[in-house]
Amino acid sequence: MRLKNKVALITGSSRGIGKATALLFAKEGAKVVVNYIKAETEANAVVEEIKKIGSDALAIRCDVSNEQQVKKMFGEAIRKFGRIDILVNNAGIVFDVPFFKRTVEQWKKTLDVDLIGVFICSKYAAKQMQKQNSGKIINISSTNGINTYHPESIDYSAAKAGVINLTKSMAMGLGPKILVNCVAPGWVKTNMNANLSEDYVEKETQKIYLKRFSEPEEIAKAILFLASDDASYITGSTLVVDGGYYG
């Protein structure tokens, strides 16, 4: 087991990539804090699945863009498990809106959750990790943050580019004991992409070398790698998991 006796907090882990990561971490021996904002039933179901696997878990409602809620969440997690070894900053939102119809409020909300939320959660995780003299932070960005081909989600792309930059800065500032890396998925079969038209999905699929969208579990495996000792000499890096995508 690559994460035996480790404690992981995964934001946005009631479904999608976060859920897949939570379950995979549990199978590898980790205790998991399942964070959610609206999907309480789904989050509790993930906790139950983890317990059936044979590990332990705790569901905590928290808006990652609200510093007081984040502070409280980490306090609860540490009281329950005593430590935080791994933080996965996975929570994110997107608004698919044409350029001239996009509002400043949408921009602010996207940046609050997708970028500032990463900073806030990392801040409180790192405080605990420094006390432990060790820790791993894995930020979930997107290929949107590297090559921007989607003008209808410009704020999302900007936020995800910021996450990559933030990863590099945190890796330098929190090293050498805390390792900070990033995973940049391409298209993934998640609820976030569930409402895409069949024509659009087909068009995008043809741009992928592997000719399919990723399963959430395939992204979770990349996150597990960076969270494990197998990545003990990797920090400040971004791992692209997109099946080969040429935009």
Active site residues: 156
* CA–CA gap between residue 229 and residue 26 (Å, rounded): 16
Nearest to 190 by CA among 14, 11, 57, 9: 14
Q: Count other Cβ atoms within 10 Å, centred on residue 205.
A: 14
The answer to whether the CB of 132 falls within 8 A of the CB of 85 is yes
Nearest to 83 by CA among 127, 142, 45: 127
The answer to whether the CB of 18 falls within 8 A of the CB of 43 is no
Rounded to whole angstroms, what are the CA distances from 61 to 10, 122, 225? 12, 17, 27
The enclosing H or E element of 61 equals strand 57-61
The tokens describing 76, both together, are: 């609860």
Backbone angles phi, psi at 149, to 5 degrees: -115, 10
| Residues 88-117: b if buried by 16+ CB within 10 A, e if exposed | bbbbbbbbeeeeeebeeebbeebbbbbbbb
List all residues 6 or more positions away from 22 whose beta carbon is below 8 Å from its beta carbon. Answer: 8, 10, 13, 32, 34, 46, 50, 57
